[in-house]
């Protein structure tokens, strides 16, 4: 009888940690689950695979999806379904996963961070703005933009300034959401 109880406890010790969302999963797997949840418009599920800092952006996305017409939502889902993931590059507690749009051939690097030992997708405003800046600079370097150097420098300066202001607003919004949650819990 004691042997059976020990075996059952050992089985639970092995099985239960694997049931946690993202526990032990590779960055590509976590990103795939995140995209899968987004494609199903299940933002609550997507939040399980995102960093804590991403909650505000995903909540805004959730509100936007409620007001989104089906054509726009379908285009977004089509875009998610046209993605092809590459291999992750892991550096300490950060991982970068290249994701290629099969139609355009464009590749975007998605950042994941370790939180409590699990990989989580960084989908916060600051990270998304960094991704957008990188894309704009890539297009400029590839010659696909029509800007001269001076216009480009001014645009980059404007974008950096806007990023700073957006980050401040997102921080204020996050603090407001935290205080609202705290008030609801009381």
Task: Find the helix packing angle between 149-185 and 125-141, rounded to 10°.
Answer: 170
Cα(51)–Cα(56) distance, integer angstroms: 10
What token pair was written down for 91? 């550096």
pLDDT at position 5: 37
Residue 120, C-beta contacts closer than 8 angstroms, at least 6 positions apart: 22, 30, 49, 50, 51, 52, 54, 112, 113, 114
Residue 31 near residue 110 (C-beta atoms within 8 A):
yes
Hey, is 99 helix, strand or coil?
Answer: strand
Cα(98)–Cα(143) distance, integer angstroms: 22
pLDDT at position 110: 95
Where the chain has pLDDT below 50, the residues are: 1-22, 143-145
pTM for this model (two decimals)? 0.61
113-131 burial by CB neighbour count: b if 16+ within 10 A, else e? beeeebbbbbbbbbbbbeb
Alpha carbon distances (Å) from 123 to 74, 94, 130: 21, 13, 11
User: Cβ–Cβ contacts within 10 Å for residue 139, how many?
Assistant: 13
Quick: pLDDT tens for 146-177: 555 555 565 566 666 666 656 666 666 667 66
pLDDT at position 17: 37
């Amino acid at each position: 009888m004691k042997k059976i109880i020990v075996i059952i406890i050992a089985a639970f010790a092995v099985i239960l940690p694997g049931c946690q969302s993202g526990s032990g999963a590779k960055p590509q797997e976590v990103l795939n689950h995140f995209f899968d949840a987004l494609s199903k418009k299940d933002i609550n599920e997507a939040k399980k695979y995102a960093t804590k800092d991403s909650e505000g952006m995903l909540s805004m996305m959730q509100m936007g999806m409620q007001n989104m017409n089906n054509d726009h939502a379908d285009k977004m889902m089509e875009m998610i379904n046209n993605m092809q993931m590459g291999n992750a590059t892991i550096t300490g507690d950060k991982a970068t996963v290249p994701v290629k749009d099969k139609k355009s051939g464009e590749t975007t690097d998605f950042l994941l961070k370790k939180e409590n030992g699990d990989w989580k997708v960084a989908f916060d405003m600051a990270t998304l703005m960094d991704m957008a800046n990188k894309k704009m600079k890539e297009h400029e370097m590839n010659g696909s933009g029509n800007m001269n150097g001076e216009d480009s420098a001014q645009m980059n300066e404007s974008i950096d300034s806007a990023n700073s202001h957006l980050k401040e607003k997102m921080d204020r919004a996050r603090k407001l959401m935290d205080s609202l949650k705290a008030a609801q819990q009381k």
